[in-house]
Structure formats: structure tokens, C-alpha cells
């Protein structure tokens, strides 16, 4: 069983180097697992938008937060990570919450069909990226915790 609170506490204790290593390790595993799934949408894009959505979970678009998580997203998803496209899709949306909601539903459908280990790694990767500032905020925890209620 996934212990959300314990994982959050453990991740909060990581130093930046440990966090960076874990982001790379988890992302390799998660992306490999996602690419094996037979889905009608791109699960990696869905995961990226979901993670980016954590910084707008309260409905605000904060450029500083995006710039802060960008290096972690590049670490997690590679040098070809198209941050600008993902960012533009959020900026251009009239209702950011609807866009985030769409990708959240897609990610929930991914977690519904994947095995428990991959689901756990997806949640941990989301938490790792959102914790790059050294702390997972209550808002980020609430946003990511919704992934835990499916399994």
C-alpha cells in the first residue's frame, strides 16, 4: 500500500543532489513503463502537463514556479522536453483549470491500467519534481494525492 504522507516526508528530507538522482532514475523507469502502455493519447505528455499543473493547482499561473521546476522537468523528460509548447498550451487556454482537469483525467486513466509499481513511481516522480524547492507544499500534496485514490 502506498503511504503518501511518509513518501512526502522522505522526499522533503532529500538534498538537491539526491533529489536530482532520484528524478533521473524514476523518470527512466516511468517513461519506459508509460511507453509500453497501449493508449490513444501520449501518456508522457499527459504526465508532463499534470506535473506542470501542480504549480497552477490554485488557478494561478506563476512564471517563477515554472522556471523553478523547468530544470527538473528537463532532467526527467530529457533535453528534447518541449517546455515552451506545454507552457503555451496552458497560457493559451481560457480556462487553465479545464486543461489541467483534462490531463488529470487522462493520467488517472493511465494509473487505472498500469501495474501498482508503475503507479507508485508516477506519483513519486510527480512529488519529486514538485519538491525541487525543497518542500512539497500543501497545495501540491492535495493536487498529487488525487492520483492515490484510484488504486
Contacts of 114 (CB under 8 A, 6+ apart): 33, 34, 37, 122
pLDDT digits (tens, 9 = 90+) for 86-142: 666 556 555 667 777 888 888 888 888 899 999 999 999 888 888 877 778 888 888
Confidence band for 60, pLDDT divided at 50, 70 and 90? low
Question: Taking the CB of residue 44, how many other CB atoms lie within 10 A of it?
Answer: 18
Tens of pLDDT, residue by residue over 10-34, are 988 998 888 888 888 888 898 889 8
pLDDT at residue 118 in the model = 92
118 SS3 class = helix
Q: What is the pLDDT of residue 151?
A: 43
Q: What is residue 126's predicted lDDT score, i.e. its pLDDT?
A: 87
What are the CA-CA distances from residue 57 to residues 2, 28, 64, 114, 125 (Å)? 22, 26, 14, 25, 17
Can you give the pLDDT at residue 150? 47
Mean pLDDT of 34-49: 85
Where are the chain's structural domains? 4-146
Instruction: Inform me whether the pLDDT recorded for 59 exceeds 70.
Output: no
Amino acid at each position: 500500500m502506498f503511504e503518501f504522507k511518509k513518501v512526502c516526508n522522505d522526499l522533503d528530507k532529500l538534498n538537491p543532489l539526491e533529489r536530482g538522482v532520484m528524478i533521473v532514475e524514476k523518470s527512466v523507469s516511468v517513461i519506459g513503463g508509460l511507453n509500453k502502455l497501449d493508449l490513444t493519447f501520449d501518456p508522457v505528455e499527459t504526465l508532463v502537463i499534470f506535473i506542470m499543473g501542480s504549480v497552477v493547482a490554485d488557478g494561478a499561473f506563476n512564471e517563477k514556479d515554472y522556471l523553478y521546476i523547468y530544470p527538473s522537468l528537463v532532467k526527467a523528460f530529457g533535453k528534447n522536453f518541449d517546455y515552451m509548447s506545454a507552457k503555451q498550451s496552458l497560457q493559451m487556454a481560457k480556462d487553465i483549470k479545464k486543461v489541467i482537469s483534462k490531463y488529470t483525467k487522462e493520467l488517472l486513466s493511465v494509473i487505472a491500467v498500469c501495474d501498482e509499481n508503475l503507479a507508485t513511481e508516477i506519483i513519486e516522480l510527480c512529488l519529486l519534481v514538485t519538491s525541487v524547492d525543497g518542500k512539497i507544499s500543501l497545495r501540491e500534496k492535495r493536487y498529487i494525492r488525487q492520483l492515490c485514490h484510484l488504486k
